[in-house]
Amino acid sequence: MLPDYPKFKTLLGEILIERMKKVMLASQGFMGEVPRLRIFEGDTLSTIREDGTKEASKPETIGEEISWSFDEIENLEVNDVIKKIDEIAINMARKQSEFAFKEITEAVRKVGNEVDVKGEPLQPKHFFEMIRKIQMQFDVSGNPIYPSIVAGTKAFDAFRKMFDQLEEDPTLKKEYEELIERKRKEWHDRETSRTLVG
Amino acid sequence: MIEKLLERWLDKADERGFQGPFAYALTKQGYTVVHISRHCGMELGKDILAIDKEGQTWAYQLKAVGGGRLTLSKWRNEVQGQMQELALGKVVHPSIRNGSGHKSVLVLNGNLDEEVQRSIDDFNRAREEDGTNKKIEVIVKGQLFEMLKKMGQEFWPAEPADLNALLDLHINEGRGQFPKGSYSNAISSIMRSTLPDASRPSPRETAEQIFAGAIMSAMMLNGFTVNKNYLAEIEAWTLFFSHVLLIAERWNIDRHIWEPAVDLVSKTIFNLLENLSKEVEGSKTLSVGNPMTDFAVLRVRITHLVGLFSVLALWRKKEGNHDDDLNLFIRDFCKAKFQKMLLWGEYATPQFLSYYIYRRTIDGTLQNDQFLYVLINAILKKNLRQKNNKDAGLPTPYYGPEEFLPFMYGIGKLESEDSLLGGSYSLEGIFHLYVRRNWKNTVKLMWPDITRMVHYSFVPKYMWQFYLWRSKEGEHISKLPELTQQWDAVRRIADESAGNDIPILIKEYPELYLLLMMAMPHRLSSSGMRWVVSKLRF
């Protein structure tokens, strides 16, 4: 065989994988903040909700391929490899996020939690509807833990505009505050319902 | 190649090393092994007692001579007295009829010097002349090797990858944790009826696989046995036991085919536990090696020891050993050390569970309930996802000490970027045990936090997959508890003890179930906890 240097290559491989993980996490944005748990065995993931309903899904393999021609291989520099690793990491992160959002969308649809703006521009009434449909969390002092909004550039601008509108219009602002208050009450009711009776 | 390896291993093995394979070889020939030695000072002269198909008792004395010769001086100084005592004395054992007579055999992993052969011949001639006929027979290396070679040879690893796995373990220095994942892969390639795509084995194939598994396990354990790494040996034989039960249960194999092997492995594990307890009893400290580094693992070690000794005590109780010195030592050790137990991860839960079960047999106070209460609160404190919880959380039972301790001390990373907060694999089961104790008001106080946790479990697709180290098929469940529940309903679940998600055969061996859970903590379920606590109620 040709001379080889496996010890160093293993070390370098570990460093590159570590970089890949970091880039993936950074490019996942919001999804990178979602807590994760490694599942070591099995082929089905199930969630049993508080109301006893069950949701099952199959894990999906997400992968990316690297291909280099023999000519390219012989001329590879460290920067080429890093560039490729980053590219793969970003693609993997995108695929992972897409898969997660696909799962979330399906689950949301199934329980009727979708809000359809029916082609209208985003308005406070749509946002209020969204808030109405979700379970909101509050901290121990009762302060709202606002949900994250994941949006594309266009939608993001629309949200920003809608928030400005909400801030400027006292009627809408009041309506929003009342909505948050209702959510606080729901949260409070939910927390106080954590009881063993009898 | 394996034959060469077997020969090399046999040459180097000590008595403890080749005792197991020799006992399995006897079982293969239809003997019932009723006793195997722990190799401690008290049992000189009879390492194995077995009864053959005709009811004849055989007493074996094993001697390791490193593949060389038993010299006259060694014979005179160490062996002759024991052998003569064995041949002329009585064999007393509950399974052996009084006065039934026995045959005595010296088993060597080497040969005899001519002078030794002559000495044995002289002894035997004298027994012929005095009419007692109490002779000494000898099995030498060549015969022993031939016996072991016939142990399921068709199932010995042949593929390079399988051979590599076996070799890797065989050359392991044997001082650290036992590589359970590697062993499980290796043993599955030998006991092939455990593989997903296997077909039903014939009775002969079943027996051969078990024998092949036994002898290959002994070879894989080589370094661990030499170093008297009892924990590693206990874990390895427990996993072997699990694979035997897997085949038996999956293929509904007739009991007489697998039960002798299970009896033998049970005796081996029992002896290893006693050896470990004796080692601890004779040690001045529980620390190993350099205290500058050992301090970081001492409580992890103590936790495991308390768990293991608890199982031993429960097992000895069942065997009828009540108030001997070892029992007293175990009781005092556990009582003195339990406060140093450390819940460093859910991997340690079966160790705590074992102690809880044992503790109930030696302590009738309410402190047993307090023990559960502390355990529940420790898990909640560590794993509840709340603003003021600065803890990283307890690792899931899939992380062993070697994987998690570097992370715990901030000098290493977890393999995956797990968030350990918010859920638990073992909280629900321990909570049920506490509910059984009827502390209704306290339970009501802890209930809100119980509902804030996600309760994880894994259910293999087929029951037999429970016995596997990892099962590719199965359902990982994340359960969010119903927020409002009736006390009576929770109590009903807590009182249930049928163990419906545990395979049938393991239920015959509750002590080994606890050991299996210590070796594979990810198999411990709420239902399993409820079952074993009910089963081992004395």
Q: Are B480 and A48 in contact (CB under 8 A)?
A: yes
Check residue B5 and give its pLDDT: 87
Cα(B334)–Cα(B367) distance, rounded to whole angstroms? 14
Q: What is the mean pLDDT of residues B83-112?
A: 86
CB < 8 Å from A in window 221-280 of B: none
Interface touch B475/A42, C-beta < 8 Å: yes
* B473 at interface of A, judged by CB pairs closer than 8 A: yes
- The highest-confidence range among A119-128, A177-186, B3-12, B90-99, by mean pLDDT, is A177-186
Structure-token pair, residue A148: 């994250």
Q: Which residue has the tokens 């027994």?
A: B127
Long-range contacts at A50-57 (CB < 8 A, ≥ 24 apart):
A50/B451, A50/B480, A50/B481, A50/B482, A50/B483, A51/B482, A52/B482, A55/A107, A55/A110, A56/B475, A57/A103
Amino acid at B380: L
Q: What is the mean pLDDT of residues B104-127?
A: 93
Interface touch A194/B451, C-beta < 8 Å: yes
Confidence check: pLDDT of B43 > 60: no
* B486 at interface of A, judged by CB pairs closer than 8 A: yes
Q: What is the mean pLDDT of residues B453-466?
A: 97
Q: Are B369 and B434 in contact (CB under 8 A)?
A: yes
Check residue B260 and give its pLDDT: 93
Q: Is B136 helix (H, G, I), strand (E, B) or coil?
A: strand
Q: Is B68 helix (H, G, I), strand (E, B) or coil?
A: coil
Structure-token pair, residue A88: 């793969």
* B498 at interface of A, judged by CB pairs closer than 8 A: no
φ, ψ at B422 (rounded to 5°): 100, -15
Chain A: residue whose CA lies nearest to B444:
A196
Q: Is A31 helix (H, G, I), strand (E, B) or coil?
A: helix
Interface touch A196/B490, C-beta < 8 Å: yes
Render pLDDT for B488-534 as a digit per residue (tens, 0 to 9).
999 999 999 999 999 999 999 999 999 999 999 999 999 999 999 99
What lies within 8 Å, CB to CB, of B126 at 6+ separation is none
Cα(B391)–Cα(B377) distance, rounded to whole angstroms? 14
Render pLDDT for A70-81 as a digit per residue (tens, 0 to 9).
888 888 888 999
Interface touch B475/A194, C-beta < 8 Å: no
Cα(B211)–Cα(B24) distance, rounded to whole angstroms? 7
* B479 at interface of A, judged by CB pairs closer than 8 A: yes
Q: Is B230 helix (H, G, I), strand (E, B) or coil?
A: helix
* B488 at interface of A, judged by CB pairs closer than 8 A: yes
Chain B: residue whose CA lies nearest to A195:
B484
Chain A: residue whose CA lies nearest to B414:
A38
Check residue B41 and give its pLDDT: 53
Render pLDDT for A93-141 as a digit per residue (tens, 0 to 9).
999 888 888 888 888 888 888 888 888 888 999 999 999 999 999 988 8
How close is the nearest chain B Cα to the Cα of A21, in Å? 9
Q: Which of B418, B458, B483 sits opposite A42 (nearest CB)?
A: B458
Q: What is the mean pLDDT of residues A186-197?
A: 94
Confidence check: pLDDT of B416 > 80: no
Interface touch A194/B447, C-beta < 8 Å: yes
Q: What is the mean pLDDT of residues B105-127?
A: 93
Interface touch A40/B398, C-beta < 8 Å: yes
Interface touch A47/B479, C-beta < 8 Å: yes
The structure's pTM equals: 0.89
Confidence check: pLDDT of B298 > 60: yes
How close is the nearest chain A Cα to the Cα of B419, in Å? 5
Least confident of B136-140, B407-411, B434-438: B407-411
φ, ψ at B396 (rounded to 5°): -70, 165
* B441 at interface of A, judged by CB pairs closer than 8 A: no
Cα(B281)–Cα(B259) distance, rounded to whole angstroms? 33
How close is the nearest chain B Cα to the Cα of A22, in Å? 10
Q: Which of B416, B483, B522 sits opposite A193 (nearest CB)?
A: B483
Chain B: residue whose CA lies nearest to A25:
B417
Cα(B405)–Cα(B300) distance, rounded to whole angstroms? 9
Interface touch A49/B481, C-beta < 8 Å: no
Check residue B386 and give its pLDDT: 74
CA neighbours closer than 13 Å in the CB half-sphere of residue A76? 14
Best residue of A15, A41, A49, A92 to probe chain B, by most B CBs closer than 10 Å: A41
Structure-token pair, residue B132: 């007692």
How close is the nearest chain A Cα to the Cα of B374, in Å? 20
Average pLDDT over all residues of chain A: 90
* B159 at interface of A, judged by CB pairs closer than 8 A: no
Cα(B10)–Cα(B141) distance, rounded to whole angstroms? 8
Q: Which of A43, A50, A195 sits opposite B474 (nearest CB)?
A: A43
Structure-token pair, residue B195: 């593989």
Interface touch A42/B476, C-beta < 8 Å: yes
Check residue B151 and give its pLDDT: 84
For B252: left if phi > 0, alpha if psi spans -120 to 50, otherwise beta; the answer is left
Residue B226's H or E segment, with its range, is: helix B222-226
| The 3-state secondary structure of B362-379, one letter per residue | HCCCCHHHHHHHHHHHHH
Chain B: residue whose CA lies nearest to A140:
B387
Least confident of A104-118, B137-151, B268-282: A104-118
Q: Whole-angstrom distance between the N-terminal and C-terminal Cα of chain B?
A: 51
Q: Which of B417, B451, B471 sits opposite A41 (nearest CB)?
A: B471
Interface touch A48/B478, C-beta < 8 Å: yes
Q: Whole-angstrom distance between the N-terminal and C-terminal Cα of chain A?
A: 76
How close is the nearest chain A Cα to the Cα of B296, in Å? 26
Interface touch B483/A50, C-beta < 8 Å: yes
Q: Are B48 and B20 in contact (CB under 8 A)?
A: no
Cα(B353)–Cα(B359) distance, rounded to whole angstroms? 10
Check residue B297 and give its pLDDT: 93
Q: Considering only CB atoms, which chain B residues are within 8 Å of A51? A: 482
Closest CA to B536 of B341, B311, B349, B386: B311
Interface touch A35/B421, C-beta < 8 Å: yes
* DSSP assignment of B445-469: HHHHHHHTSEEEEEEESSGGGGGSS
Q: Cα dihedral angle (B310, B316, B321, B325), rounded to 10 degrees?
A: -40
Chain A: residue whose CA lies nearest to B453:
A50
pLDDT band at A35 (very low <50, low <70, confident <90, very high): confident
Render pLDDT for B230-268 as a digit per residue (tens, 0 to 9).
999 999 999 999 999 999 999 999 999 999 999 999 999
Instruction: Render the burial of B373-403: b for 16+ CB within 10 Å, e for the rest.
Output: bebbebbbebbbeeeeeeebbbbbbbbbbeb
Cα(B115)–Cα(B89) distance, rounded to whole angstroms? 24
